[in-house]
Structure 1
Amino acid sequence: MCEKYVSDKLSVCREERQYALYLSNILRYYNTESRRSAVPDAKKIFNACAIPPDAAIDEVFIEASFMRDYFERNRRTYLSKDFEKTILQTHFTPKRNNYKVDNIKQRF
């Protein structure tokens, strides 16, 4: 879909709920002490979340809304003159009111 969806300051993703989804995936996959015992990074994540080492995760509930970020990046790609400057701005308003965005060009 997009190589830079989660990367650095130019990431498409700007939504903490998307990161919550990634955290949810980790918590669910490494849901038992035995499963995460062999993976130091998984243990670090559980420690950072103050989850006891012997805890078992039964369920995780999240809300993810990454498509809004993807569509916003698409609009900025097509409708800005300075792509890299525009994607770092907090707000973006196209100069034109009447525009059509298609999927011919991708700059991710």
Structure 2
Amino acid sequence: MVIARLLTPEEIGIFSVSASLIGIAHTLRDFGIANYLIQEKELTDDKIKSAFTITAIMAWTIASLLFITKDIIADFYNQPELTTIIQILSLNFVILPFSSIKMAILGVT
């Protein structure tokens, strides 16, 4: 409700498009690693480090792809504002690997 009062209908549409793209990217980024860590019976440091490495590679690759293609996406939707929003939201993928492994170990998905 608050966002609806602060943003115009066009701005809500732009945010919805970028949130959808980021949501799809998050699904690809997870790659089942959190489920693996939750279900693993003998969780060793090596397995945790391997999971972190795979998560970091996936997340940073997706962040790079989003950052590189932000102009193409904005041109496709004919909305230049998408460039800035995707640029900011892609930074989330840089930070995410540091918390996602710990959350999976705690059993929170």
Higher helix share: 2
Q: What is the TM-score of this pair, normalised by structure 2?
A: 0.26
Structure showing greater Rg: 1
TM-score, normalised with respect to structure 1: 0.26
* Greater relative CO, 1 or 2 (CA 8 Å, sep 6+): 2
